[in-house]
Every structure is written in C-alpha cells, then in structure tokens.
Amino acid sequence: MAKKAELLEKAQELGLEVTEKNTIAEIEAALETAGEKEEKTAAKAGKRSEKAQRETEEKLEKEARKVAGDTTPQSDDAEANVKKGPKPVTRPRIERRGKNYRKTAEQVEKDRVYSLTEALELATKTNPVKFDASVEVHVRLGVDPRQADQNVRSTVSLPHGTGKTIRVAVFAPEAEHAAAKKAGADVIGDETFLKQLEKEELNFDVLIATPQYMPKLGKYARLLGPRGLMPNPKAGTVATDVAKAVSEAKAGKVEYRVDKQAIVHLSIGKVSFGAEKLADNAKAFFDSLQSQKPSSLKGSYVKSTSISTTMGPGIKVENVVN
C-alpha cells in the first residue's frame, strides 16, 4: 500500500488522471508514458526537438492551406492577396496589330494558298509601311538541321539583286588590291585591315579573303563569326579570284541557310521591284534550293512556303519546289 501511495503522489505531481481504484501496474504504465513524453519534449536536437516539431507542424499547415486555396496572410505585417476580379480577356493577335497592318491584312485570304505570281503581286500591295520594304521568302523544310548532311546552306545570285547597297571588304595580298578595287570593293587591305578588326571597325557587309590569308583571320573568329562575316568557301567568300567574288557580291549574290527551326529566310528584293523582277529572283532562289535537297532525306523536302513584306502580313504560297 505504501508503494501505491508513492506512485499516486508522483502521478498527482505530473497531473495524471489516476485514482486509488487504478492498480499499481496501471499507475506505473501511466508514469512511464508521461516520462517518454517529457523526454521527447526535452530533446535539444534532431527530429524530436521542439524546433523540428514546430517546423513540421508549420509545413503540414502550409500544405493544407495550399490545397484549400487559402491565401490569407499568416502574419500581421503581410497584406492579404485579395482577388481583384475575373481574369482579363486576351484580345486576338490581329486586334493588337497596328491600323495599317489590319487594313492590308484584309486583302489576304487567310485559308487560301496563292500561286507564286499572285502572292508576289499581292505582296507589293500589302506593304503597311511608308518606306520601300523588302519582300521575304520563308520556306519550312522537312530536314533535321542537327544532321550534318541535312544542314542546307548555299548561295544564289539574284538576277536583279536585293535592292540593298552591299559594302564589300577584301582581305588579300597587295597584288590583288588593284583588281578588287576595279571590281567595286569598298574596303581593301592586308595588315592595315587587321588593325581595323582589332579596333572592331566592321564597316562592311561582306568579307572576301584569299585561302592563304584565312589563317590570319582565325584570331578574329569570335568577332566575325556571330555577325555572319567570317569568310566561308560554301558562301563563296573564300576565293582565289578576288575580282570575280567582289563582282558577284555586288551584283546580288546572297547566302541562305536553314535555321534551328528548319526554316530558310531570304530577302528577294524590294517592293519597288515589281512582281516580274521579284518573280525572277524567287525562281532563281527556288532552283538553288531544289539543288540543295539532301540525298538522305526520306520525307517531303518542302513543307510550306510563305511570302511577306517587312512588317507585312504573311501570304501562303503553293509548293514551288518539287
């Protein structure tokens, strides 16, 4: 009985709900449970510490609020995230365009596929800007640009040029300077030209170099490469006949290549050229593009073609390349 009295006294100190009716075994079990709880509460580190238990409770509470969609701030300093009304309706893209664009876009039938002649005539009438805009051809190919044998890249000489003034630079030995100047080169030099590159003076649109001078340009690859100015044999800008290369560049020889999205973009002239000259340039480009069809390609070569002016609406064109 003395043992039971001692146990009851300890239980009362801990605030346990036990009486004399409970057996000694029940009182001991209650005291043992209370001791375990006290140990858990008194832990200083680990998963049983007060800090860890509090963080766990806060995390569970936060997840419960997230599921319930409750955005009410939990601190007095925070501001409530009050809904300001329904989500605004996004207008169609055509309504977000300028007035001149919308007016010209009305002349293009959205679901119609035009012939090349009709598309070029329509392109000259749908120029929404006041300046003499370029007429561009956009061809989506069925190639994989990541494959080396399907990376379409070539040059084409447009019969009527591009309508742009091309500034040509020549990096060649002094013996070639006179011929390059006679052909119409704007910048000519050898060592003096390298000094201009060191100062990053890129006052040209096309750079032509001779094969023996190409190693000297390796130092400036990071400057010229990203701008598309590094001479390349495929582009015809690495040539032994410098005068011929300059004449072709001045006459309208342009380079085209497929981008990462398997699309070829090329400007074939200006609106002021008229439909006939634009058609001649377009035919020269499509003939060149046809000749570049990869032999390893199994599917269709050309998926879609469209023509547009600078800042003008796109015009779908029937497949010209067979």
User: In this structure, are 152 and 258 located in the same domain?
Assistant: yes
pLDDT of 162: 82
In a domain, residue 55? The reply is yes
What is the rounded distance in angstroms from the CA atom of residue 96 to the CA atom of residue 199? 43
Closest alpha carbon to 308 in 98, 119, 116: 119
Q: Which uninterrupted H or E stretch holds 120?
A: helix 116-125
pLDDT of 286: 92
In a domain, residue 18? The reply is yes
Flag residues of the chain having pLDDT under 50.
40, 42
User: In this structure, are 190 and 292 located in the same domain?
Assistant: no
Two structure tokens written together for 20:
């004399």
pLDDT of 42: 47
Edge-to-edge order in the sheet of strand 168-171: 187-189, 168-171, 206-209
pLDDT of 72: 67
In a domain, residue 80? The reply is no
Q: Which uninterrupted H or E stretch holds 265?
A: strand 263-270
pLDDT of 218: 84
In a domain, residue 79? The reply is no
Within a 10 A sphere around the Cβ of 217, how many other Cβ atoms?
A: 20
Phi-psi region of 79 (alpha: psi -120 to 50; beta: other; left: phi over 0): beta
pLDDT of 73: 64
Two structure tokens written together for 36:
């375990």
The CATH number assigned to the domain holding 194 equals: 3.40.50.790
Q: Model confidence over 107-122: pLDDT tens digits? A: 888 888 899 999 999 8
For residue 281, count CB atoms less than 10 angstroms from its CB and return exposed for 0-12, middle for 13-18, buried for 19 or more.
buried
In a domain, residue 84? The reply is no
User: In this structure, are 155 and 273 located in the same domain?
Assistant: yes
Q: Model confidence over 184-201: pLDDT tens digits? A: 888 888 888 888 888 888
